[in-house]
Amino acid sequence: MNTAAALTREALLARLAEPKTWDVVVIGGGATGLGCAVDAAARGYSTLLLEAHDFAKGTSSRATKLIHGGVRYLAQGNLPLVREALAERALLLANAPHLVHPQRFVVPAYRWHEKPMLAAGLAMYDLLAGTHGIERSRLLDAARTVAALPNVRTEGLRGGIAYWDARFDDARLAVTLMRTLFDLGGLALNYAPVGDLLIDGGKVTGVQVADAERGTEYRVSARVVINATGVWADVLRRRERPQAAALLRPSQGVHLVVGREFLPGDDAMLVPKTEDGRVLFAIPWQGRVLLGTTDTPRADLPLEPAPLDDEVGFILRTAACYLRRAPTVADVSSVFVGLRPLIGAGDASPTRGLSREHLIEVSPGGLVSITGGKWTTYRRMGADAVEAARSVAGLPARAEATAGLRLHGAPAMPCSDVFGAEREAVNSLPGAGERVQDGLDLTAAEVRFAVRHELARTVEDVLARRHRALFVDAALAVAAAPRVAALMAEELGCDADWAAHQVAAFGELAARYKAD
């Protein structure tokens, strides 16, 4: 779709109301659902994606910002998952060079046996990457470790080892996939919750969906429906089969954002083993440092999960063991929490040991559910799910077409601008040089672009996912909300009451992102 053509909600709803049968309807606008929809559309199948809230509202905007093979999956002996993820990492670096970037990690070592153990493990990591590798890992002496990590604790430091993975902006990648779907002729709609599945003769034949803004309901016919709703997948599965056994055992991961003074320089740090047997990352991100994460089982499924008892303290205590100047609660500018859709129903083992692989289930009625997985392998997950869906629906066999598909806005050369090749179009809008808030790089033109071309409908959509202000500094995001609301009201044709409501709602939400 032409960048100059605005994506108006009225036009999208008009397409939704057309009397047609879609080849593929995907429920869920996170990483997995977007991956499925892009794959289906790239094969030439008519494709509709429906999201109850906003794209990447849930887990997919709350990741650790890594595109990686998974060093700890290597330690678990899951070599096939690591190899697959490393291959997908290479594809993302090539296909989204404005959003995915190489990142060097340094692992400090304080015991004599750690360096040889780490060297052996990361040599295997390099080997599994093969031709998809970025750079080879290398041993560092103590001086080079301190040069890479200037704030690292030096007492007892024996050196370290450096290796390469990639970092990314998860919510921006989701928005980019949504726009890629439109480029391929598909339709995506946020704030469109699915109520019931349509079932005829025991087979799933479509969905009933509502426009959350106006309450209008639509009956949508489909040759096949894909359930890609993440941690809520079991909820949707039970709309077809109320007694269906659970597939998932969700866990939550907490992340803290602190200032760059705690990790100066360009390198990230990996703590190879925390007190609960996980790893901890400290990653340069958005001009700050991201610390995380935890892995705590959670039986409920809140849309806005909060840290459980001592999760924030655990991250800060672990960081303090490795940093000479350690952050405190007062240094935390944002706390965000994501729920992982881990496969492991009925398993009493710790969630940190559960598989990050994905699972596809085809129900007796033909509902295709895809669960598990992680952002790095979203493309592979989408291809596998669409292949299963194609078989269910009897669609023409067509090879997957996303391995070489450059995503929307991908520039000719890597760059750090999330708009990539669209920057000129963004800056052609009013307010290109006008920052909405001191301390944030969000401009008025970018807010307008988010409304016109990226389906942003609320202040939260802009300040949490089109821009990452809420995840970077909750207080600055709150300060920016009135100006963002005014700009959005102008673009959407809304009044001052709408803007005031938006500011109040966002302030209430942002309070949850502040550390206690």
Looking at residue 313, the DSSP 8-state letter turns out to be H
Three-class SS of residue 368?
Answer: strand
CA contacts within 13 A on the Cβ side of 46: 11
The separation between the first and the last C-alpha atoms of the chain, rounded to the nearest angstrom, is 45
Q: What is the pLDDT of residues 422-463, one digit of tens each?
A: 999 999 999 999 999 999 999 999 999 999 999 999 999 999
Residue 412 forms part of a structural domain: no
**Nearest alpha-carbon partner for 137 in 116, 115, 111, 161:** 161
- Average pLDDT (483-511) is 98
pLDDT score for 356 = 54
CA distance to 64, 79, 92, 282, per residue, from 167 (Å): 9, 21, 11, 12
- Average pLDDT (497-510) is 98
Q: Which residue has the tokens 């709150």?
A: 478
Q: What is the pLDDT of residues 347-399, one digit of tens each?
A: 444 545 444 589 999 999 999 999 999 999 999 999 999 999 999 999 999 99
Is 60 exceeded by the pLDDT of residue 345? no
Pair (162, 25) in one structural domain: no
Is 90 exceeded by the pLDDT of residue 4? no
pLDDT score for 30 = 98
Residue 68 forms part of a structural domain: no
Q: Which residue has the tokens 């925390």?
A: 274
Looking at residue 261, the DSSP 8-state letter turns out to be G
Task: Quote the tokens at residue 88.
Answer: 């997908």
At 202, give phi and psi (nearest 5°).
85, 0
Burial zone of 5 (CB within 10 Å; 0-12 exposed, 13-18 middle, 19+ buried): exposed
In the chain, what percentage of residues exceed pLDDT 70? Answer: 97
- Average pLDDT (118-140) is 95
- Contact residues for 504 (Cβ-Cβ < 8 A; gap 6+): none
Domain range holding 121? 97-166+249-341
Residue 224 forms part of a structural domain: yes
Pair (156, 261) in one structural domain: yes
In the chain, what percentage of residues exceed pLDDT 90? Answer: 91
Pair (136, 279) in one structural domain: yes
Q: CB atoms < 10 A from the CB of 345, how many?
A: 12
Pair (180, 55) in one structural domain: yes
Q: What is the pLDDT of residues 196-218, one digit of tens each?
A: 999 999 999 999 999 999 999 99
Pair (130, 204) in one structural domain: no
Residue 86 forms part of a structural domain: no
Q: Which amino acid is at 432?
A: A
CATH number of the CATH domain containing 267: 3.30.9.10
Count: domains in the chain: 3
Residue 380 forms part of a structural domain: yes
- 278 with 295: CB under 8 angstroms? yes
Pair (150, 253) in one structural domain: yes
- Average pLDDT (452-479) is 98
- Average pLDDT (236-261) is 96
Pair (157, 258) in one structural domain: yes
Q: What is the mean pLDDT of the chain?
A: 95
Looking at residue 464, the DSSP 8-state letter turns out to be I
- Contact residues for 483 (Cβ-Cβ < 8 A; gap 6+): 436, 437, 444
What pTM was computed for the model?
0.96
Q: Which amino acid is at 268?
A: A
Pair (209, 261) in one structural domain: no
**Nearest alpha-carbon partner for 7 in 450, 447, 430, 452:** 452
- Beta bridge partners, 116, equal none
Q: What is the pLDDT of residues 32-68, one digit of tens each?
A: 999 999 999 999 999 999 999 999 999 999 999 999 9
Residue 89 forms part of a structural domain: no
Distance CA 295, CA 315 (A): 11
At 270, give phi and psi (nearest 5°).
-115, 125
Distance CA 108, CA 111 (A): 10
**Nearest alpha-carbon partner for 324 in 159, 156, 150, 162:** 150
List strand residue ranges (DSSP E) for 228-329, in order. 251-258, 268-271, 280-285, 288-292, 296-297
Distance CA 269, CA 284 (A): 9
- Average pLDDT (501-516) is 96
- The continuous run of DSSP H or E covering 487 comes out as helix 474-492
Pair (233, 135) in one structural domain: no
Residue 409 forms part of a structural domain: no
Helix-strand-coil split of the chain, %, nearest 5 = 40, 20, 40
- 21 with 31: CB under 8 angstroms? no
Three-class SS of residue 287?
Answer: coil
Distance CA 495, CA 489 (A): 6
Pair (42, 180) in one structural domain: yes
CATH number of the CATH domain containing 176: 3.50.50.60
pLDDT score for 66 = 97
Residue 70 forms part of a structural domain: no
Distance CA 349, CA 388 (A): 30
Task: Quote the tokens at residue 160.
Answer: 């370290």
- 100 with 168: CB under 8 angstroms? yes
At 66, give phi and psi (nearest 5°).
-115, 135
Pair (39, 27) in one structural domain: yes
Pair (314, 385) in one structural domain: no
Task: Quote the tokens at residue 248.
Answer: 């998932």
